[in-house]
Structure 1
Amino acid sequence: MNDVMAELAKEHPHVSFVKLEAEAVPEVSEKYEISSVPTFLFFKNSQKVDRLDGAHAPELTKKVQRHVSSGSFPPSTNEHVKEDLNLRLKKLTHAAPCMLFMKGTPQEPRCGFSKQMVEILHKHNIQFSSFDIFSDEEVRQGLKTYSNWPTYPQLYVSGELIGGLDIIKVRFFIKILCLEHPFLKRLLTNKASVMLFMKGNKQEAKCGFSKQILEILNSTGVEYETFDILEDEEVRQGLKTFSNWPTYPQLYVRGDLVGGLDIVKVGAF
């Protein structure tokens, strides 16, 4: 039957032929009630329209030809299909400010990793929406390529992939907290075009490095605001992980990290 499939694929290049090992994808086998192999399923627009159980080459050929002639498999290019899928995935990842693609639902996770991810989000009181990747094989496989991330769960904030369970467990995700605590987002982007996170403030620096960077900024005449990281331990620790920059002061322009004192001293600012 592999040879038959190969020949049919050559004869009908606009039809996608896909082979799955039933035991390797038990959730798919269960969903489509695969009780014997081979079983052939026919899909149009992600909906099953026909099936054939057993190794019946003539019948398989007839069914493919019948669906092709009836327009069940309209001619299309792989590029067009990929473009449509990417558009759909983009809409799904932007469907909510915080989107979790998981196995199962928050109420009934269907794997340990998804369960742990839900527990972490609930622990931090993060509001999120979810998508059960078991409910749509096209999304399940497509999202791996779309985001270049091979496993689930996957967490997105404002359409941007944050990562899987391991990433979430080891980082204090400021991007997510920005959704729940708007003042953080305002500090990073909206309060001022140039933001300096330092020890102390404009009037009184509380470390030598912060004092030096204030002197540099004041000499340029650039307008800027400051935030005293000694006043908020959550911001102090979280910002280090968010920017992958372990020390202070930290200078941001329009929400993007420029660097610390050494970077500013050599003229990057």
Structure 2
Amino acid sequence: MPLQDVKTAADVAAAVGSGKPVVLYFWASWCEPCKHMDAVLGQLAADLPGLACLRVEAEVVDDVTLQYDVTTVPYFVFLKSGAVVERLEGADPPALTAKATALARGGQPATTSSAAAAPSAAAAAATAPAGPEDKAAVFGRISFLLSNWPVVLFMKGSGEQPRCGFSGKVVAALQKLGVSFKSVDILSDEAVRQGLKEYSNWPTYPQLYIKGELVGGCDIVMDMAASGELAALLADKMGPDYAAVSAAAVAAGSSAPASASAPAPAAGAPAPASSSAAAAAAGGAGGEGGAAAAGAVQDRIKALLSGPQPVMLFMKGSPEAPRCGFSRKVVEALQAEGVEFGSFDILSDEAVRQGLKEYSNWPTYPQLYVRGELVGGCDIVMEMKAAGELGSTVKEMFHRMDVA
């Protein structure tokens, strides 16, 4: 049977009530590995008709996510007669296949990926892990990108949807100069993400390249944009008509995903108050009344971000009682670093909950800000913590804004 999307806890109860064993698959739209696991679980659902496979959008169906104590994606919970018999964290197709197959055949899920074979050749093909890409191949892909587009930005997310505040600021700086560019999402390509650090001898992201040469990261680009050096460098490398040259290059390479040349709101920048989404967030009023209401919501958000707490976390629940696993993980990460922060419960205010998505151009929660500048969501914060960069990044943002 096909994958079923869970909208409420009642959908899970109905699946359990059917008498079939159940696999709950928790996913998020921003998580690249989830896209592959969608295909794997979809094949398993087709091959194992005695198994109910349910998809739960972790940041949307809050009560189910909280009920099963899910704090990361992709994440799988295996149920038999309504009871949890096993869990699986991360994108591990062989393990998922083994556990789901064992559960469907009447036993508890296997604890190793070798305990059961894939139920079909198609599932085996879907679950076969790709071999590691050697350094020469990764460097070759990087060189291809740099030689085919005059302006390349290696970033978190895309030009249309940056996935961290630093990437968003560089996107905004390029768009202000009318520059079209090729964006490469390092969150969706771990080989390039790690390989580029060695290729460029530059440890962080985003990284901006012009005519194959590294310009730098966010701080360098922003300083150059403010002083006029970025425009001068573009003109020197590409000629005075650099905007048209970059646009033509992006258009010529349109078979590969590239950023849009039309400006988009930078991360942390307010969207126009007249947008339909902002109007909906303000209560759905239309016309001048809707624009005024949306503007009032934006003003409230600005007031929250400029309040006495320089670090603000917009989350579900409170630090003492988080209402989703993702919010709880960010709270714990900040507390572990000794970072003092204020918080706002977006579940208590629907206007702010919807309006902040428009303000920040960031679709999910939690959202972490330092002095009004978006740092990112749970995935970004946890990556920074794992790399030992969270505390230092917050301090660096304090210092940069003090001297700005």
TM over 0.5: no
TM-score for the superposition, normalised by structure 2: 0.30
